[in-house]
Amino acid sequence: MSATGRFVPGAAAAGPPAPDDRCLVVAGRRLLVGTDGPFARIGDLTPIVGAAVDAGWVPLGALDGDPVWACSLPAPAAELGDWRGWAALAGELGEPLAALAGRALQVMTWRRTHRFCGACAAELADVAGEHARRCPACELYVPMQLSPAVLVAVSRPGRAGAAPELLLVRHSYGPTELWALVAGFVEAGESLEDAAHREVGEEVGLRLAGLTYFGSQPWAMSGPGVVLAGFLASCADPDAEPVVDGREIAQAQWFGLDALPEALPPAYSISRWLIDATVTAYAKSGASAAARCAGLRSGPGQGGL
């Protein structure tokens, strides 16, 4: 399946799902991948999953203007096809399909883990047209909430004419073999910018300058509702060396932008987008400097200014 337009999230449906509508099936933290990929048609899938579908079809939004739905099964069923995690699919699908698969996983996980009222323990009821639930006993409103996190690409000038350097870290959890960026969740009452400064200070002991917002990405690997906000920044003290916290960060090191390690985050992640953007900016600045030098060398009447 390919998409030429964009995915627009939504929780309201104009009507029941049609046989030609696309859908994703979730079981635990995995998605069903059939012969038509992870985006099967409801008409083809309904006879297979039948009554096993938990709580019916849940609207996810529209892809290229066409409705997309999700449903969940109690556990992966091998006879239905292959079941894969979001990380394995995201690298193959690309955007916007990776974001859509992630949304299916996040929405269905949230529905599975938010069934009862946290105030009175009554079973929650769906709110029509929203990914939210309300308690029929005490009226507590329970929306699907976001959990924002920040990550920062910190750079500094190179030494003695060498390439600029980028700070990369190895975490003490998750894929520990990767060299990634400093990251962490935003605390209550904290801005994204404040969180970026705090996380870098806590995890590697550095101060930031020129903090600039880069972009964001929903991230299905860390649980329902997680959204990552990426920043670019310079190290306030270019001579400072990172000091790891020993808890979340196992290693931290400056790498020249022309000598980055091979074990970097996957291409579908905003962490990699930040790294690539830093490298691209360095390459462009080098090309511009070379062009200026060439213009000066050419002199008047030889293409110079």
What is the CATH number assigned to the segment(s) 7-113? 3.90.79.20
Q: How far apart are CA 159 and CA 179, in angstroms?
A: 21
Over the stretch 50-81, which tens digit does the pLDDT of each residue have?
655 544 789 999 988 889 999 888 888 787 78
Q: Output the pLDDT for position 5.
A: 62
Residue spans per domain, the chain: 7-113, 147-291
List of the chain residues with pLDDT < 70: 1-5, 35-36, 46-55, 222-224, 286-305
Q: Residue 203: what pLDDT?
A: 96
Q: What is the pLDDT of residue 304?
A: 33
Q: What is the pLDDT of residue 133?
A: 97
Superfamily of domain 147-291: Nucleoside Triphosphate Pyrophosphohydrolase (3.90.79.10)
- pLDDT tens digits for range 21-40: 888 999 888 998 876 677 88
* Per-residue pLDDT at 299: 47
Query: Could you tell me the CA-to-CA distances from 155 to 90, 165, 207, 243, 281 in Å, in that order?
Result: 28, 5, 11, 16, 12
The pLDDT assigned to 225 comes to 79
Domain pair 7-113 / 147-291, same fold: yes
Q: Please list, in sequence order, all residues whose beta carbon lies within 8 angstroms of the beta carbon of residue 303, skipping any fewer than 6 positions away.
A: 295
What is the spatial distance between Cα 48 and Cα 72, in angstroms, rounded to a whole number?
13
* Chain-centroid distance, C-alpha 211: 20
CB-based contacts of 86-91 (< 8 A; 24+ apart in sequence): 86/29, 86/31, 86/220, 86/221, 87/221, 87/266, 89/31, 89/33, 89/38, 90/220, 90/266, 90/268, 91/266, 91/267, 91/268
